[in-house]
Structure 1
């Protein structure tokens, strides 16, 4: 039996509406209450309420956690998440968003409740934009790799030498 969900706002883009409806079906499939879902996924009941009522986009990790609990294909939902998060309304907060704590206020000393996770994930680059410049690994990483390679070569040589010595007896 599914949860009696509140209606989604009419102004939601179709991608967001479809994504949230699919998340709701997935949550219902678990048979868990929001409290139990929060305990199984490390995202609070109030966070799940915001995500499942389209008041706030869920972090990708929350979607992956719900998929794990429900036994669903995380990659398929990851693709839906990407489409939805690109289309998610980013306008000025309205009365519907009043219950969502202001992230800046939370960072201020003594400000609001601690959010469970950052609510906005960085978006993948738009199609057609050049990829970011490749960063070179730090020098210590190159040195560590070289040292590891040297140790492997020395160990192989030692094993071969010991094999020859044992064969010469």
Structure 2
């Protein structure tokens, strides 16, 4: 009797594992689209630089976000002169995973503020092309914008007291 009970539970476990593998194989990975903005007109980053920069934000553990693809944006006039459009892919979460929002919020917390890599300083903003936005892009964009606004609000008195070009560079 004990053998039959163990055998049944083994089959159920094997079936659950197989179904999890099939779902992972046929569903899309969790992806978000971001834009690195810099005031430097010579701002350039490759896939390795992007992965190193994202990995550097996760001091407490292993980074599970990887650069899936990137594209250099065209030069612009104004404060943000250079842009790099990046699609990040999560290693473990799928796009329909209920725990994906927690991974997105964690990424947003890490991306708030100015980031310095080698010789460049940049900010991260969400890509905001409505025709191509998924639910994950909308969640990521809303979360990151709200966290950036909170960062601006918290640091504005300190930066406005400095005055001059430092406050302009801060934005």
> Fold-level match, TM-score > 0.5?
no
Higher relative contact order (Cα pairs below 8 Å, separated by 6+ residues): 2
Which protein is richer in helix relative to its size? 1
The alignment's TM-score, normalised by the length of structure 1, stands at 0.27
Which protein is richer in strand relative to its size? 2
Which one has a bigger Cα radius of gyration? Answer: 1
The alignment's TM-score, normalised by the length of structure 2, stands at 0.27
